[in-house]
A and B are shown apart, each in its own frame.
Chain A
Amino acid sequence: MVAAQVIFLAVGLIVLGSAVMVVTTRSLIHAALWLVVTLFGVAALYAILNAGFLAIVQVVIYIGAIAILFIFAVMLTRKDLRDRGAQQNPGWWLGAVVAVLSFAGLLTVMRGWEGFSAVPANTPAGFDAVAALGNALVQPDAFVLPFEVASLLLLAALVGAVYIAFTRK
């Protein structure tokens, strides 16, 4: 076992453990903070795979914006921030069953896959992953259409949010 695999396993354990904590902890704020740990672990996984750009964006978007918004929403909607009430979702066992089933399904599908013991290949010297990604996003024969559609969708969401929040004077 090489160092990369040891690090991968450690990070994977952190991600899984904190993800379990997200759904089992009773305090909503704690759940949000555990979610931050999970998302950070995913960013670390990207970094291990030499995808520095994705790792940084993961931290900026998911921790800097989404997790903070979660915490904000919890703080604004709860009367007592220290609430440790009973389980609120009566269908929690259904989610657990689905999670276990999908994990088992993935395991059976990927049983014969040799990727588990693979080590990420080193990118060739002088290969600029960010430049390649940027070019792919604006090339007509690559991802320019999904990129533009996603931008349009976000713009529509932005306009909608402004419209809802706008008070006519």
Chain B
Amino acid sequence: MNLWTDPIGVIAGWLGGLLAAWSVPAWLAGFALQLIGVVVLVSLMMIIDILLVWVERKVVARFQDRLGPNRVGPFGLIQPFADIVKLLIKEDITPNGADRVVYNLAPILSLMSVLLLWAIVPIAPKIFGVDLNVGALYIIAAGAIGTLSIIMAGWASNNKYALIGAFRQVAVLVSFEVPMIATMLVPTVLAGSMGMNAIVQAQNVWYVFTSPLAALIFIVAAIAELGRAPFDLNEAESEIVAGFHIEYTGMKFGLFYAGELLHAFTFGGFWAILFFGGYRLFGLERLGPLVAAAILMAKALFGYWVIMWVRYTVMRVRIDHMLALNWKFLTPLAFAVLLLTAILHTLLRGTSAAVYGACMLFANLALGAIALEIVRDFTKRQRTRTDGAAAAAATAAGR
């Protein structure tokens, strides 16, 4: 056991020995070690979060054919720190009639719900907060706290725009949770476990190849859960100014903003864990935990980039379209994928990996084609109906 193969174990062992030498009782030493682990993980995430501000602004600039931050430091790298100083020294305003406690609690809960997610992320084979055997459900549970924080912010701000934004966001979150759970059950069925580490270990073939449909539905539902464009109805600037965080200033707004960016990055990470093999990449992860962590971070950044790519190229969807997309298309499709995966997984048990993978991939593609065909047929019929009605109205008006 050395520092390269098991860095956390070596450091924990050294610290534990140090505490024992200071004759600290064992339970207190264990508690202190856990606490240090949590603080280190959270600090690491917050530091990554600061850099994500820069990444997001640079990438959006690229998509919109601009340069992005480029004045402060090399490539504008110091810009986020300047932003933080600005946010910290801004006046902190609490609106009249706001519910003070709830108002101040909301941004904290918002960021907390994201940081909670990192407790179950397997950063490397042996580096994780806790290997929960109900990991997939834990993601949804943490999301529930995020929903609660948004509705608290919207209500406590005593502002109509904030309330409308919160209403919209809750409608979206509650409905997009359904296809999300269903698609998270697909890797669960394939791996035979809900634990994130077990799912990663089971991916000799990335699940994006055995179940591309589930991966696609998951990222769509994730974008909706994040409340980002094209599903950013909760803060649609042109309609409700800034939605639920309209009244927040300074660092309280900063907490919402940081939470949103880290949430996007985190869901990129979960996309990587559930469908892209997590920290695994052609056996490279066996070189050492730090390599594995780097692989996971790179994959999470890829997922984050996809989310940004969608955000800055697709325009906002109307809320009824969005809910119709969810309930009439994504939810049935997600359950169909789940059923198909479960049945095929049982039928194909014992066949060779090639046959298994080919059958799974083909079944997914066929199901996707059928779903698209049904939707095309439906819209065609609807179009002829509305066109016919419009033509009839035109002739009636012409007479």
Contacts and interface: CB of A to CB of B under 8 A. Distances in A.
**Chain A interface mostly:** helix
Interface string B132-157: 11100110110111011001100100
B152 A68 contact: no
Contacts of B155: 29, 71, 75, 81
Given A3-B27, A33-B102, A59 B141 contact: yes
A162 B27 CA distance: 54
B177 to A, nearest CB: 7
Which applies to chain B's interface (DSSP): helix, strand, loop or mixed?
helix
B80 to A, nearest CB: 32
B177 A71 contact: no
Interface residues of A, number: 24
A52 B134 contact: yes
Interface in B146-172: 147-148, 151-152, 155, 158, 163, 167, 170
B276 to A, nearest CB: 24
Q: Taking each of A52, A56, A82, A129, which has the highest tally of chain B beta carbons within 10 Å of its own beta carbon? A: A56
Given A52-B133, A64-B144, A68-B174, A33 B152 contact: yes
Size category of the binding interface on chain B: 20 to 34
Given A3-B27, A72-B170, A75-B167, A60 B151 contact: no
Interface string A52-69: 110011011001110110
A68 B133 contact: no
Contacts of B97: 82
Given A36-B148, A59-B144, A68-B174, A53 B134 contact: yes
Given A59-B144, A60-B144, A71 B151 contact: yes
A33 to B, nearest CB: 7
Given A60-B141, A75-B155, A68 B132 contact: no
Given A71-B155, A82-B97, A64 B133 contact: no
B305 to A, nearest CB: 29
A63 B152 CA distance: 13
Nearest to B133: A130
A139 B305 CA distance: 45
Contacts of B158: 82
Contacts of B123: none
Given A71-B155, A81-B155, A64 B137 contact: no
Interface of B: 27, 97, 99, 102, 132-134, 137-138, 140-141, 143-145, 147-148, 151-152, 155, 158, 163, 167, 170, 174, 177, 194
Given A59-B145, A65-B174, A75-B167, 10 more contacts: A29-B99, A36-B148, A56-B134, A63-B144, A64-B141, A65-B144, A68-B148, A68-B151, A72-B151, A81-B163
